Amino acid sequence: MDELLADLSAQRTPLPPLRERIRLRKAGGLSTAQIADVLDCPAENITAWEAGKYEPIGIPRAAYARLLEGLKALERPEPHERPARRTPAAPLATAADPPEQPTLFAAPPAHSAPPPRSQPPLPKVTPTGPLAVIDHTDTLVAHFTNASQLPLDTDDLVGLLQWTLRSGLHQEKLSPNGKDSDPLIVLTPAASTALHLPTELSDRALLRLPADHPVLAQLNQAGFRLTRRGFGPWAGIYRPVVNNKRASVNVAVMAWGALSQDGWNLPPLPPSDLAQLLGTYTDRLLTPRGSTAVCGVKLMTALRPPTKATYDPASGKWVPGPNPGALHAPVEPAPPEAPDAHPLAQGRPPEQTMEEEAWDWSRLPDQQETAEFPHVVGLDTNIAFIAAASSLSVGRNAPPRHVVAPAFDQKIPGAWYCDLSHAPHDPRLPSPFTATGQAPTGPAWYTTVTLAYAKELKIGVQPIEAYLRDDHGPYLNPWYERLRDAYLATMADLGVHKDIPQADYLAAMNKLPTADPALLALLAAIKATGKGGLGKLREGPRTIAAPYTRWPALDQPTWRPDIRAAVVSRARVTLHRKMRRMLTETGRSPLAVLSDCAIYPAHHPTALDVVPEGPDRTGIAGLLRLGVNPGFAKEEGTQSMTWYHQQYNQGINPARSIKDPT
C-alpha cells in the first residue's frame, strides 16, 4: 500500500513549464545525455519531456522535478548580496574529476528544511565505469575505476542493489551484436560484514549461502532473484525483465575468495587501487564475472554473441536470431573427441580416443652433448595456446559429418583416423604426432592441423575415416586479438616492450619479479583468462555422478572439445616446426619438452647462448627467438647438465622444474 501511495504521490509532483525546463538545463551547462545518465533513462525521454510530447510519470517524474529544482536553486543569489551575472553551473563529474559528494541519489525527507542559502550546493559525483568496489568505514562507500568515491545512503544489500541499478555502471558492448555488461560490485570484507553476510561460507562443497539465510529472504521480498549458481563468491542477482530492460547486478564477495582463488591472485590493495586495477582488466578484456576461466569463455561470447537482431517479416519486428559467425547451438562431439566421462565414450576402445594433447617428452643427452654443454636452458613460449587460436578455422554449429575413406582436405576442420606409423622419426626431436613424443605405432585420430603438418613434412596421408565440420570459420580470432593486446599493453606497463634486441628483452624480464605486484597480478589474470577459457571448452563434470552421465556444461554452445584439440595441436606443431628449423640452422636439438617449454643444452647459462642473434639482434624469423610477442620465447630458467641427468634418471621431466628446482 505504501509503495502504491508513493507512486501516486510521485505522479502528482509539479514540473516547471516546458520552456523553463529547457532554460534550466542549458543554464546549468548540461546536455540531455547527462540528465538521462543521472535519471537512468534514454536521452530521447528528456527531449520528449522538454518538447511536451509526453510527461514523465512515477519515480522518474519525482527525480526529474528534484533535478530541475536543484538547477533553479543554483541561480538564486545569496541573501544581502547584489545579484551577479549568472554563469553556467559546473557540468557533472568526468573521469578526471576528484571525489565529490552525492546529491542526486536519495531524496531528502519531506519534512526537512532546505539548506541555508549561505551554503552553496556541493558538487555532484556521477558513478562512472563498469564496476565499483564497496568498502565500509562509518558508512558504505563506493570506489570507482577513475579514483572517485561516493558515500552511499544505504545499510543493506537490497538498498545497495537498488542504487547499483540506478547508477549507470556498465561496460559498453564489445560487439555490434552484443549487449552492455551488467554492473559489478565488489564487496570488501568490511562491506560484506556491514551488509550482514557471514565472514565465510559454511557450505564448503557448494560454496553458496544457505537457502534459509535472512539476506536471501530480504532479496526475495524485494523482488530479486539469484542465478542458478546461487549466492556464492560470485553471484548474479537480477529482477525479472520488464519492457525488455534487464535489471541485473554481479556481486563479488572478497571474504569468500572471489579475487584470491580460481585464477585470481590479487594482492591486498586499498579499495580505490583495487577498483582501478579491476577497471584496467575490464578495459582490456571484460568486466569480471567469476573465475578467470569463466571470464575466458564469457569473453568469447561477448566478442561473438550467439544471437543478433533479425527482422521478422511476419511480425514486422526485430527478433533475436542466430549469429552465423558465433557458436549459438550445442553440438555433440565426434565419438573420438568425447572425453572419457562422456556418454559417447562408453564402450569405446582406447585406440579410438583422440589424444591431441601437449607434449611431455624428454631424452637422455648423448655423450657429445654432455661433454660439450655444461648447462641447460629452458625456453618457454609466450601465451603459446592463446597464440595458437589466431586465425584458426574451427567447426561452428553443424554436427560433424562421418565419412569413410575420405580424401584429406586441410581446409576442413575435423577428426581424421589415419596411420602415420610409417613417418620417419628423428629421435633428437619429439614426434609431432603424439603427446609422449614417441613415434606412433598404428592408426590414431588426429585433428586437421596435425595431418596438414604431416603433409608439410612430405608424409603420405591416407585417412581411413573422418568426422568433418562443413560449417567452419575463425571463431576465436577476435578473442585472441583482445587477449594479445591486453597482454602486450600490460607487459609494456611493466617495462617490457616489443621490437627490442633479445639481450634487452632478457634484461627487462630479469627485472620483472621486482615490478609492481598489482601489475604482475593483472598480467597473471590476463594469461589465466586465456588459458582457462580454452580449458572451459572441454569442461568436465563438477560433481561425482554415475559413469557416462551427462553434465550441465555439455548443453552449452561453448562446450567444444574439438576446438580445444585443434588449438593444442596447432601449438604443438608450431613449436615442432621451430625446433626442427633450429636443428637445421644451429645443430642443436631439445633435450626435453613439457607443454610449451623446451630445454636446450648450452655453453653458458643464458638463453642468448641458444637462440641465434640475427642481423638486428632480435632473432631470426621461423626459429625460437626471445621477445615479448605471442609465440616468441622467454628464458624459463637455467641449470647445470649434471642437474638435468639427475632429474632424468629419477624419471622426472626436467622441463617441469627448471624454473624452480625447489
Lowest mean pLDDT among 56-70, 420-434, 600-614: 56-70
Classify residue 217 as left (phi > 0), alpha (psi -120 to 50) or beta.
Answer: alpha
pLDDT band at 592 (very low <50, low <70, confident <90, very high): very high
Q: Which residues of 620-631 are buried (b: 16+ CB within 10 A; e: fewer)?
A: beebbbbbbbbb
Least confident of 88-97, 176-185, 472-481: 88-97
* Residue 250 DSSP symbol: E
Confidence of residue 126 (pLDDT cuts 50, 70, 90): confident
SS3 percent helix, strand, coil of the chain, rounded to 5, is 35, 15, 50
| pLDDT score for 124 | 59
- What's the pLDDT at 456? 98
Provide the pLDDT for residue 32: 78
For the whole model, what pTM was predicted?
A: 0.81
Q: Three cell numbers at 89?
A: 553551473
pLDDT of residue 508: 97
6-33 average pLDDT score: 72
Give tens-digit pLDDT for 481-527: 999 999 999 999 999 999 999 999 999 999 999 999 999 999 999 99
With bands split at pLDDT 50, 70 and 90, how would you rate the model's confidence at 77? low
| Number of Cα atoms under 13 Å in the Cβ half of residue 534 | 26
Whether 18 has a pLDDT exceeding 90, the answer reads no
Q: Is residue 556 pLDDT above 80, yes or no? A: yes
Q: What does the pLDDT average to over 147-176?
A: 95
| Residue 82 predicted with pLDDT over 90 | no
CA distance 294 to 288: 9
Cα distance between residue 435 and residue 453, in whole Å: 15
pLDDT-derived band at 117, boundaries 50, 70, 90: very low
Is the pLDDT assigned to residue 327 strictly greater than 70?
Answer: yes
Rounded to a whole number of angstroms, the distance between the first and last alpha carbons of the chain is 68
Strongest mean pLDDT among 18-22, 114-118, 133-137: 133-137
For 104-114, give one letter per residue: b (16+ CB within 10 A) or e: bbeeeeeeeee
| Whether pLDDT at 249 is above 80 | yes
Least confidently predicted of 9-18, 138-147, 313-322: 9-18
Predicted confidence (pLDDT) at residue 273 exceeds the cutoff of 80: yes
The closest of 361, 646, 611, 430 to 661, measured between CA atoms, is: 646
Element (H, E) at 508: helix 502-510
Kindly state the average pLDDT of the residues 97-126. 40
Alpha helix segments (H runs only) across 352-476: 367-372, 384-388, 448-456
pLDDT of residue 85: 32
Is the separation of the CB atoms in 98 and 138 below 8 Å? no
Q: 76 falls in which pLDDT band (50, 70, 90)?
A: low
Determine the distance from the C-alpha atom of residue 368 to the mean position of all C-alpha atoms in its chain, rounded to a whole number.
48
3-state secondary structure 532-572: HHHHHCCCCCCCCCCCCCCCHHHHCCCCCHHHHHHHHHHHH
What is the distance between the alpha carbons of residues 468 and 403, in angstroms, rounded to a whole number? 8
User: Poorest-confidence range of 313-322, 389-398, 496-505, 529-538?
Assistant: 313-322
Q: What does the pLDDT look like over 34-56, one tens digit per residue? A: 787 777 777 767 877 787 766 77
Residue 167's H or E segment, with its range, is helix 157-167
